[in-house]
Amino acid sequence: QVQFVESGGSLVQPGGSLRLSCVASGFTFSNYYMSWYRRAPGKEREWVAQISNGGNWPNYEDSVLGRFTISRDNTKNTVYLQMNSLKPEDTAVYYCNSPSFPDVWGQGTQVTVSS
Q: State the Cα–Cα distance between residues 67 and 64, nearest whole angstrom.
A: 5
Structure confidence at residue 15 (pLDDT): 98
Amino acid at 25: S
Instruction: Say if CB 92 and CB 111 are below 8 A apart.
Output: yes
Q: What is the pLDDT of residues 37-58, one digit of tens each?
A: 999 999 999 999 999 999 888 9
Q: State the Cα–Cα distance between residues 5 and 12, nearest whole angstrom.
A: 21
Q: List the one residue out of 73, 78, 37 whose CA is nearest residue 55.
A: 73
Structure confidence at residue 55 (pLDDT): 87
Q: In 10 A of CB 102, how many CB atoms?
A: 9
Q: What is the pLDDT of residues 102-111, one digit of tens each?
A: 999 999 999 9
Q: What is the pLDDT of residues 68-111, one digit of tens each?
A: 999 999 999 999 999 999 999 999 999 999 999 999 999 999 99
Structure confidence at residue 70 (pLDDT): 98
